[in-house]
Amino acid sequence: MQRVWVILGFLFAVGLLTAGVWSYGYRQALSQLSEKAEADLELAADRLSTQMQVYQELAVLMATHPVLRALETPVQQRAARAILLDVADKTSAVNMMYLDRSGQVLASAQPVVWPNMSNHPAFRRALQGAMGSAHGVVASSGDRTYSYAAPAFGDAGQVEGVLIVVADVQDVEQTWRGSTEAVFFIDGDGVVFISNRSDLLFWHRDEGQLGLTPPDGGAVDFASVLVGPHEVWQLNWGRYLPSRALHLMLDLPVIDMTAEVLVDVAPAQRLARLQAATVAAICLAFGALLYLATERRHTLAEANTILESRVAQRTHALTAANTALRHEVREREDAEAALKHAQEELIQAGKLSALGQMSAGISHELNQPLMAIQQFADNGAAFLSRGRDEKASENLTRISAMAARMARIIKNLRAFSRNESEPMGKVNLVQVIDTAVELTEARLRTEDVRVDWAPPNSPVYAWGGEVRLVQVFVNLINNAADAMSGQDDRLIRIAIDRGDKLAVTVRDIGPGIENSEKLFEPFYTTKAVGSSEGMGLGLSISYGLVQSFGGNIRGANLDTGALFTVELEPFTEHEVA
């Protein structure tokens, strides 16, 4: 029971703190909102005053125009109307009129309904020698206008006439109609005459009234609440006006109006709610953690005894599991080492298989130079016995060339058959293909297979291992020769294509690939069962070697023959680093 009272007391304290934070945050947010709204209201008032001042100065300037001083003849009156019309068009004024002292319109930019305007308040003010201003609504169109009247003085300083400039208030509103806050200007009669919310036009405020009354005099929802120094209106005046708004006022004696603004307080409320919710969440989280910590301490005390009794059992089980896991790890390491060794042996077997296929040709390539060396040696001895030293020297030179050819063949064979792994690095593809062609040259010549291989003039460097790449291309060349076995015409084309990746293509004109899906599977072969020419491992080994270099190998059928493409990463210097 005591625990329940503690929890309820804590929740009550959190509620009081949350309410206090909300109240303080709301007042602070309203203060910031008020500062911004006050600046926006001053900006809107200055903008309106500036725009109205343009028409005021226009009236003063045009009142002194010399053409308007003499309007006695119809020609002079037409000239005056033309000037007034031109200026009105350029300044977007609704109308410009010049009146004599009796209020008679002598010239105007647009036709007027009342030729005599002696009762116009702005005109009466201008007759006194001061700037007159007035605003009103055009009865025929409902347009709102603002008028400035400037006196035209004679040589003796007397008022000879009055120039009136009429401006369209709606044109002035267009410049700030996109403002997010509702701004409106109330004239001396308490009527909303200018606003960026058309719903508020012609609403009025009676003396002593806080809110506004619609033009029809009907009742509307309204309440005013003071939040500290701020006045907040609660209203329901249309979809384009906020339901709760901060209200600010600014007197504009220059144009005899009062500027007011309604700013939506929803952002301030959201901020206050967020702050209060954050504080409440922190307090509740702290209380929850404290409660959980207390409960956990009791629970741990109870569980500690049970845990101690199970530790010994768990320790024994973990020790046995650890021993079994280590044994399994050793078995996997041994299996991985055996697999790697088997792969190396498989690669070496592939090399020996390729050497076996080329053995007859290699034997011929070595026997032919040996016989030639023996013949040249016998001839050289005969030439020396006859004293023909030049001929003997030529034979010795030929013997040296034959010996160099045999040494090169044996060197390539020794490098190709070597059973060792080599690090990957910079490999000249041109040299690799030359070596592969040279290793298979004897067999290809014996079987009358032509090789179309035009090495590039400059080296082409790829990322890989030289000996294993030679094995790949030897396998591809031997497979191409096997595919064309029994044909009259036998041709192998080899080419290098430089792109984003280096691509080496080996193409034959044989019957093509029978089953491309199983092309790179181990022990898949198209040769006769029991054939000594291969076990179906060549392409599988080649595929694994190219993959280990980060490349790819694929085969495809053409209209005539098969095409194998080996893609390799080009070697760049930063790969070394």
CA gap 192, 214 in Å, rounded = 10
Phi, psi of 303 (to 5 degrees): -80, -20
CA gap 465, 416 in Å, rounded = 12
Task: Specify whether the CB–CB gap between 95 and 113 falls below 8 A.
Answer: no
Among residues 483, 487, 493, 471, the alpha carbon closest in space to that of 548 is found at 471
* Average confidence (pLDDT) over 367-392: 68
192 backbone φψ class: left, alpha, beta (φ>0; ψ -120 to 50): beta
Going by DSSP bridges, is the β-strand pair 159-168/502-508 parallel, antiparallel, or unpaired? unpaired
Among residues 79, 169, 90, the alpha carbon closest in space to that of 98 is found at 79
* Average confidence (pLDDT) over 498-517: 85
CA angle 160, 88, 165 (to 5 degrees): 45
What confidence category does residue 490 fall into, taking pLDDT thresholds of 50, 70 and 90?
very high
Among residues 26, 39, 35, the alpha carbon closest in space to that of 268 is found at 26
Tell the burial category of 449 from Cβ atoms under 10 Å away from its Cβ (0-12, 13-18, 19+).
buried
- In one-letter notation, the amino acid at residue 443 is R
pTM of the model: 0.45
CA gap 298, 305 in Å, rounded = 12
Per-residue pLDDT tens digits for 224-248: 778 888 888 888 787 777 878 888 8
CA gap 317, 312 in Å, rounded = 9
What confidence category does residue 347 fall into, taking pLDDT thresholds of 50, 70 and 90?
low
Does pLDDT of 550 surpass 90?
A: no
Q: Which residues contact 444 (CB under 8 A, 6 or more apart)?
A: 361, 450, 451, 477, 481, 492
CA gap 513, 279 in Å, rounded = 75
CA gap 471, 467 in Å, rounded = 6
* Average confidence (pLDDT) over 355-367: 53
Task: Specify whether the CB–CB gap between 266 and 241 falls below 8 A.
Answer: no
Phi, psi of 406 (to 5 degrees): -65, -40
Per-residue pLDDT tens digits for 402-453: 676 666 666 655 555 554 455 778 889 998 898 888 888 878 888 899 999 9
Phi, psi of 11 (to 5 degrees): -65, -40
Place of tokens 């922190």: 282
Q: What is the pLDDT of residue 492?
A: 92
Other beta carbons within 10 Å of 232: 19
CA gap 16, 109 in Å, rounded = 70
Q: What is the pLDDT of residue 421?
A: 56
Q: Label residues 275-298 b or e (16+ Cβ within 10 Å = b).
A: bbeebbeebeeebeeeeeeeeeee
CA gap 175, 46 in Å, rounded = 13
Task: Specify whether the CB–CB gap between 92 and 174 falls below 8 A.
Answer: no
Q: What is the pLDDT of residue 414?
A: 58
CA gap 156, 188 in Å, rounded = 35
CA gap 300, 397 in Å, rounded = 97
Does pLDDT of 524 surpass 60?
A: no
Mean pLDDT of the chain: 79
Quickly list DSSP for 50-106: HHHHHHHHHHHHHHT-GGGG---SHHHHHHHHHHHHHHHHHHT-SEEEEEETT-BEE
Task: Specify whether the CB–CB gap between 64 and 140 falls below 8 A.
Answer: no
Higher pLDDT, 481 or 421: 481
Per-residue pLDDT tens digits for 207-219: 778 788 788 877 7
Q: What is the pLDDT of residue 178?
A: 61
CA gap 149, 136 in Å, rounded = 14
- In one-letter notation, the amino acid at residue 134 is A
Share of the chain above pLDDT 70, in %: 81
CA gap 446, 333 in Å, rounded = 47
Higher pLDDT, 363 or 400: 400
Among residues 112, 248, 136, the alpha carbon closest in space to that of 188 is found at 136
Q: Domains of the chain by range and CATH?
A: 18-55+177-264 (3.30.450), 64-172 (3.30.450.20), 422-575 (3.30.565.10)
CA gap 247, 233 in Å, rounded = 7
CA gap 482, 506 in Å, rounded = 13
CA angle 241, 178, 199 (to 5 degrees): 35
Tell the burial category of 367 from Cβ atoms under 10 Å away from its Cβ (0-12, 13-18, 19+).
exposed
CA gap 568, 133 in Å, rounded = 89
Up-side HSE of residue 506: CA atoms within 13 Å toward CB? 20
Structure tokens at 487: 């044909």
Going by DSSP bridges, is the β-strand pair 144-153/244-252 parallel, antiparallel, or unpaired? unpaired
Q: What is the pLDDT of residue 236?
A: 78
Going by DSSP bridges, is the β-strand pair 192-195/182-187 parallel, antiparallel, or unpaired? antiparallel
Q: What is the pLDDT of residue 529?
A: 42
CA gap 367, 438 in Å, rounded = 16
CA gap 520, 541 in Å, rounded = 8
Phi, psi of 28 (to 5 degrees): -65, -45
Does pLDDT of 577 surpass 50?
A: no
DSSP state of 191: B
- In one-letter notation, the amino acid at residue 347 is I
Over the Cα atoms of the chain, what is R_g?
A: 53
Per-residue pLDDT tens digits for 275-333: 878 888 888 888 888 888 887 888 888 888 888 778 878 888 888 888 888 888 888 87
Q: What is the pLDDT of residue 346?
A: 56
